[in-house]
Structure 1
């Protein structure tokens, strides 16, 4: 098949979507498919990755709140690019404008909407849930639900990477929802990368010795990630047990996170570790990975922690929650500082143990399953 991904969330500067796209460009051709990714860029360009993989950039405006990202603004130009490619399947990885543009395209390709974002959890629920119930919030955002239901009818499938989001979409009347958990680079992330010396160095950077617990966190420094809450919870838990936190990330909330850390010597903020092998060693050497965001559509760092045999401490909703199943970690009430503090204290009271990498889907398995679904609707559109 020829699969074209219209990806509005792609940024050359990095991020989870870019990691996913890089995997798709490499693995898709290995599975016998041609992969073309159309992204918003500064100028019109084509980057040939060889072996049936390309990235096409279309001139697009920059997103005002984060200029690393762009957005598709010219529907005619996007349609012309799709006409030129003549794909078997068009995949769209944004719930905003681009899927509506693809829905209006007159090509014959089958269409898939991949939910790489959960705007209701990231914004509406986070902003208003302290005051309103979720059903009340959903009623206030009925126009967005109508938009999602319309897309569910216009596309052959809506793909989610976690069961929480898939259940909410089905309950909201969105048709043809399917769950495909994302995969992990199992050749990179492994319990075998545990390094006691690295663990000791990270704890020493937090002013602690090897008897303390080491928590690791990683992700964009954005409001929906709730990093100040994570910092405050670790500070509160450290009053009862020695525990340090190292957070890897960058973004517009850096100043507020530094303010939350204040002079706490047991919490350190570092730039992202771009070397995947080095980052895998950090995850495998941690005692636990802690995460604050209930709006994750998958939570790649949670899956990578599980592949590394490292426990997770994650909210009880959203994509992160899936990674705590089967005894792989602890959950806490999403958005609740006291619940997170209690979960950290409970974890620290447990005896140390090394987990195996159980229940992990490899990235090859993910793409093989997803593309098999695409092949089914290409061969038999009624299968959708």
Structure 2
């Protein structure tokens, strides 16, 4: 099968979308399929045997640390030349809109996937009045696809309520060989503990943006001296966060990748996840595969991944005292050890091969339907 993937984000960016795509594409290539990737030009031209066709990029006024690509006629010429059996548009919004348009125009079977809750993000960027328009726009793009994939039951229910058609759940996965308790590294532990060898390490991994509500974590230091905090990642909110956490035992590492990231997970004690705007949060499964119990804000997607009082603790996002109490539960080594073991067990059987095979099944299903089922 010849697969064309049009995505708003790809390497060297790092987030749950890129993790899912790279893991899936590796499997497609190993299975003998051909793949091209059309993505913002961030300096990477090849991923394995898959060619990356980079599109010119711009920055947006409210998000200057990330580069985006606008719709381009070049997408159409690339698709026409390549002649794919299926076009998969990932998170159609800007560049992806061109993928949707030209797939329909050229009569190529089209599948789309939804990964980012853009409408919720608007509240954090002072644009709540645009929510209705954004939903209308996204629905118009997604409903041109024969099948729409999303990453949790909660999101599927919302999309169906908002009249998105043919919505299927795309399973979650984790690289259990990379993210594993055996990745514990005493040197990494020493680095993350910031000289406090007797303290517990709270770990956050993700994009540093206002909608992630990372500020909540600071108040832990007001009530407990048992923890240090490590924040892994980067984003538009980093400088503000560094100032906000100044004077606390907090380490900002920037992005970590591969084995270094795996070592950071396995060498920490508790994973903290205050965001309620995720459509899945793959880092939760990476943390659990590394043997970390989780403290997460209660939301549909987190409830689907974290078993409260077994693999971690879920707190009401509106109950700040409840959040602090949940973190403090892990001052107790017995609680950490019990939930650590359960979290690791929960990650079994969730490899990326099954996730990629599921997507391929939907690719074949879409290709057989042809390009007549979208509007």
The whole-number CA distance in structure 1 between the counterparts of 2:27 and 2:47 is: 12
Determine the structure 2 residue equivalent to 1:293: 275
Does residue 369 (structure 1) correspond to residue 358 (structure 2)? The answer is: yes
The whole-number CA distance in structure 2 between the counterparts of 1:28 and 1:192 is: 28
Determine the structure 1 residue equivalent to 2:239: 255
CA contact (8 A) 2:8 2:96 kept: no
Residue 143 of structure 1: how far off its partner (Å): 2.6
Residue 346 of structure 1: how far off its partner (Å): 2.9
CA distance 1:307–1:175, shift in 2 (3 Å): same
User: What are the superposed Cα offsets for residues 322-363 of structure 1, whole Å, 9 maximum, x if unpaired?
Assistant: 331372211122365333222212343463314134245212
Does residue 329 (structure 1) correspond to residue 307 (structure 2)? The answer is: no
Residue 310 of structure 1: how far off its partner (Å): 1.2
The whole-number CA distance in structure 1 between the counterparts of 2:299 and 2:36 is: 33
CA contact (8 A) 2:3 2:84 kept: yes
Determine the structure 2 residue equivalent to 1:238: 224
- TM-score for both structures, normalised by structure 2: 0.86
Residue 366 of structure 1: how far off its partner (Å): 0.9
Determine the structure 1 residue equivalent to 2:67: 69
Q: Which runs of 5+ in 1 are unaligned?
A: 130-136
Does residue 358 (structure 1) correspond to residue 329 (structure 2)? The answer is: no
The whole-number CA distance in structure 2 between the counterparts of 1:262 and 1:251 is: 18
Determine the structure 1 residue equivalent to 2:54: 57
Determine the structure 1 residue equivalent to 2:259: 277
Residue 99 of structure 1: how far off its partner (Å): 4.0
The whole-number CA distance in structure 1 between the counterparts of 2:96 and 2:46 is: 25
The whole-number CA distance in structure 2 between the counterparts of 1:111 and 1:335 is: 40
Determine the structure 2 residue equivalent to 1:84: 81
- TM-score for both structures, normalised by structure 1: 0.84
SS at structure 1 position matched to 2:221 = helix
The whole-number CA distance in structure 1 between the counterparts of 2:224 and 2:4 is: 49
The whole-number CA distance in structure 2 between the counterparts of 1:36 and 1:357 is: 36
**Residue of 119, 141, 156 corresponding to 1:166:** 156
SS at structure 1 position matched to 2:68 = coil
User: What are the superposed Cα offsets for residues 134-187 of structure 1, whole Å, 9 maximum, x if unpaired?
Assistant: xxx7x9733323223323431112211122222211122211111113321111
| Structure with greater contact order relative to length (CA < 8 Å, sep ≥ 6) | 2
Residue 15 of structure 1: how far off its partner (Å): 4.0
CA contact (8 A) 1:31 1:368 kept: no
The equivalences for 1:202-221 within 5 A come to: 202-203=192-193, 205=194, 207-210=195-198, 212-221=199-208
Determine the structure 2 residue equivalent to 1:302: 284
SS at structure 1 position matched to 2:112 = strand
CA distance 1:201–1:311, shift in 2 (3 Å): same
CA contact (8 A) 1:158 1:178 kept: yes
The whole-number CA distance in structure 2 between the counterparts of 1:254 and 1:303 is: 24
The whole-number CA distance in structure 1 between the counterparts of 2:77 and 2:20 is: 25
Determine the structure 2 residue equivalent to 1:229: 216
